[in-house]
Amino acid sequence: MVFSSILFLFYFMPAAFLLYYLAPRPAKNATLLVLSLIFYAWGEIRYLPIMFASILVDYAASNMIERSGSHQGKRRFWLLVSVVFNLGMLGFFKYAGFFASSLNALTGLSIPVLSLTLPLGISFYTFQTMSYTIDVYRGQVKPEHNIIDFGTFVVLFPQLIAGPIVRYTDIRRELRDRRMNPDQISLGVRTFILGLASKVLIANNVGALWTETEQIGFAGLSTAQAWLAILAFSLQIYFDFSGYSLMAIGLGRMLGFEFPKNFDFPYISKSMTEFWRRWHMTLGSWFREYLYIPLGGNRRGAVRTVLNLFFVWAATGLWHGASWNFVIWGLLFFVLLMMEKGFFKSFLDHHPVWARIYMIPLIMMSWAIFAITDFSQMGVFFSRLIGGYAGSDWVYSLRNYGVTFALGILFSTPALKGALAHLERSRIASVFIYGFLTVVSVAYLVDATYNPFLYFRF
């Protein structure tokens, strides 16, 4: 069940919020836990036992860490139980087939390749629960003794499937004592509507061009059409994921939670370093806090810093998908960040025009590596992208998608942020704007058959 669906908008969400608001305060977490389990089971009931196992293992491990007191050996053992379980489940479902097929290709062996359906949200919730146990081990938080409250943290439906990656420290206070007021609920509703409109009206519309291009094939593309196609994917993945994050943050506010920001207009960045401070911010924060710093960060000399960053960016790429193109995508950013760190970033910071000339084409080309898993097809696409091929196919695309391109480019910048904030001061204007966006988004969903969500496969 996705947020941008008639089923969620008109059936699950109204029923869930009615039950939640009517539940007495002591029963709100239990109500939310049951609702979240129903939400998850709707599309993945066969993997519900994995969710229960994740709750029980991390709940038990964190409490055993506390009971172990100052006995470091026991504390490390229970931390290891949590880490091995979480990474083991993620590795088995997401990477077992990938590693087996890669090993077969390298060695000529015939290891059976498992074909498993990836449990929804496993890349997100395993990171969340693992960070919780690590924080308990570090002494940064006390373990949660109430299994209902802990289960609510793990399966909280607004952020369960696709983030933001919410750490226990982010919502620890709200799990025990949250207050809801009309202003907070109103802000949550407006945030949700902005996310819904971003997903439905921009991502879905412009993403159709990339899907059409994949179906037709890359071999006959003109160079102009190839650039329009990858621009379409660049806008689709941004508004798809940032829109879903906004919907999650809005739902969280309506429930009394304050989730961390996940996107901050990344396409206005002047460097790749800045881009990754603005794109999928909760994932970047997680890798910095739980991988880069524990590896030594930049505290052990230049060579070790480079190795640490190499490992982090390889892991970042692999987190996004079990395919070598994702690893290459991650390592591309490693190379670019090393260049910026070494000598280039100061120039970019002081020359914004050259910075954009450098950034925009590279970001778009990086999305081509991200989007195309077949290396032979990737080669074909890049040959069309840089080969100077003529053709008139781009005219059709620009005529059909030009308005959506313009809206996507405009709304990927903060140009209208101030204007929207100003209009929201008027209750009448606010009701009109958000009512209009809701009606148009729902009308599109009723009529459309194209409503993918890219990050579900990650």
Q: Which residues are catalytic?
A: 320
Q: What are phi and psi of 353, to 5 degrees?
A: -65, -50
CB 430 within 8 A of CB 136: no
CB 207 within 8 A of CB 155: no
Alpha carbon distance 44, 1 (integer Å): 9
Residues 6+ apart with CB under 8 A from 376: none
d(CA 345, CA 13): 46
Contacts of 279 (CB under 8 A, 6+ apart): 263, 266
DSSP code string of 98-136: HHHHHHHHHH---------PPPTTHHHHHHHHHHHHHHH
Which amino acid belongs to residue 241? Answer: F
The total number of residues written for the chain in this structure: 458
Pairwise CA distance, residues 285 & 267, whole Å:
19
Residue (of 239, 247, 217) closest to 229 by Cα position: 217
In angstroms, the Cα distances linking 248 to 157, 194, 390, 395, 411 are 8, 11, 43, 37, 19
The conformation of residue 426, written as its DSSP 8-state character, comes to: S
Sorted by sequence, the CB contacts under 8 Å of residue 449 that are 6+ apart come out as none
Q: Spell out the residues 6+ positions from residue 190 whose beta carbon is closer than 8 angstroms to its own.
A: 250, 424, 430, 434
299, burial (CB in 10 Å: exposed 0-12, middle 13-18, buried 19+) = exposed
Lookup result for tokens 């950013």 = 333
CA nearest neighbour of 52 among 155, 163, 142, 157: 155
